[in-house]
Amino acid sequence: MTTFSDLGLAEPLVRAVADLGYQTPTPIQLQAIPPVLGGRDLLGCARTGTGKTAAFALPLLHRLAETRAPRRRKQPRVLVLTPTRELALQVDESFRDYGKHQGVRTACIFGGVGQNPQIQAMAQGVDVLVACPGRLLDLLGQKHIELGDLEAFVLDEADRMLDMGFLPDVKRVLAYLPKQRHNLFFSATMPPDIVALAHQILNDPVKVEASPESSTAEGVTQRVMFVDKDGKKALVVQVTSDPRVGRALVFTRTKHGANRVAERLEKAGVSAAAIHGNKSQNARQRALQGFKDGTLKVLVATDLAARGIDVDGVTHVINYDVPHEPESYVHRIGRTARAGATGMALSFCDREEIADLRQIENLIGARIVVAGDRIGLPPDVVEPGPLGPKRRSAPPPRPKGGSGRGRRRR
């Protein structure tokens, strides 16, 4: 069995990892840590929940400790660029946790809050800067951040950068970076624009891959319940009210939908909050913290808002709306059954979503088991556990004219 010390990491890092309860490296960590320690550029294809943050944070912290260069005002030694505030906060927290025995200083830069504390943090000098593109460009333009002496650059979740329209901002950031630098590039999928960007950034990279995007996490029991659109309102209350449901993450397509579901759950006595881009940063952090500490049983989120959520102990993922893009389904259900645990992924599917469901099944290469009658909630709806034998149940007939939206997969 390979351990973190076997990978050549410094003792303070191995001790920090042990403090967090990690025993053995994940596949992406086994593949990525040695070449990054050796200074190679890296192209990583890894989905959420594979341990990719540690895969780049640990070897970069090792290299920082080896060189022991003094901190300089406004000038970080490592820059990690992320698409969302939630992900930025969690990556920043990971660097601090892993580097706690090395005295590592970090800063986290994102919009939606005042910039003065961020400016002050940079003025004091930091080792690692974790940032979202918009606020980073603002502070670069104001000369509060300088990247001319940067040693390492990490682009995290590059495909989500593309989805959110941040690729032009990413390219503007690249113009501030020194030509000689260490580059790490991570993306769950590799569409053509992302492949082109990787070629622009990386120099003779080592390529690593873990859990391809079409694969779903082990230990997740997947079920679908066919229900009309109005029936979803009562069903989500019924499912989340069940005492066998511990901590549930509910996905909706829209921000307004997330608000409506959270409000309905609260009125029914189920502690819940919504998290999405229209919420203030403080509200998002309060909701996420409440979900982490158990104050909230249910967190209702859109795909973009949830991309950076990394919470252990999620027993259920509920797709209130079936996602249009089948890759989003894989991302969603990867929020449960982490670290060897089991979990339940339950999808509510109305007539107009059947075509989307079939695309998901084509991607994952399996039919999702149809749950029994929702009245009384059969055990296979609320009890996480290993998948039973595949069984088929006839869905409601597809309405004439296809999916009802005339939408095809891009």
Give me Rg for the CA atoms of the chain.
22
* pLDDT of 121: 96
Distance from C-alpha of 141 to C-alpha of 29, rounded to nearest angstrom: 35
Q: Quick: pLDDT tens for 131-182.
A: 999 999 999 999 999 999 999 999 999 988 987 889 999 999 999 999 999 9
**Quick check: is 388 in a domain?**
no
Q: Which residue range(s) make up the domain with 152?
A: 5-210
* pLDDT of 74: 95
Average predicted confidence (pLDDT) for the chain: 86
Q: Quick: pLDDT tens for 90-123.
A: 899 889 999 999 999 999 999 989 999 999 999 9
Asked if 60 contacts 152 with a C-beta cutoff of 8 angstroms, the reply is yes
Q: What phi and psi, each to the nearest 5 degrees, are found at residue 251?
A: -110, 135
**CATH number reported for the structural domain that contains residue 131 in this entry:** 3.40.50.300
Distance from C-alpha of 217 to C-alpha of 224, rounded to nearest angstrom: 17
**Quick check: is 396 in a domain?**
no
122-151 per-residue burial string, b: 16 or more CB within 10 A, e: under 16: beebbbbbbbbbebbbebbeeebbbbeebb
**Could you tell me what percent of the chain has a pLDDT over 70?**
87
Do 165 and 205 belong to one domain?
A: yes
Q: Where are the alpha helices (DSSP H) in 99-230?
A: 116-124, 133-141, 158-163, 167-174, 192-201
Provide the domain count of the chain.
Answer: 2
Distance from C-alpha of 239 to C-alpha of 242, rounded to nearest angstrom: 6
* Both structure tokens of 225: 């319940």
Do 245 and 313 belong to one domain?
A: yes
Distance from C-alpha of 124 to C-alpha of 106, rounded to nearest angstrom: 10
- Residue 311's pLDDT band, with cuts at 50, 70 and 90, is confident
Do 224 and 146 belong to one domain?
A: no
> What mean pLDDT is predicted for residues 76-88?
92
Do 295 and 177 belong to one domain?
A: no
**Quick check: is 349 in a domain?**
yes
Distance from C-alpha of 343 to C-alpha of 349, rounded to nearest angstrom: 19
Distance from C-alpha of 153 to C-alpha of 82, rounded to nearest angstrom: 11
**Quick check: is 410 in a domain?**
no
Do 225 and 303 belong to one domain?
A: yes
Half-sphere CA count of 284, side-chain side, radius 13 A: 23
> What mean pLDDT is predicted for residues 249-271?
94
Do 11 and 120 belong to one domain?
A: yes
**Quick check: is 143 in a domain?**
yes
Asked if 4 contacts 30 with a C-beta cutoff of 8 angstroms, the reply is no
Do 247 and 194 belong to one domain?
A: no
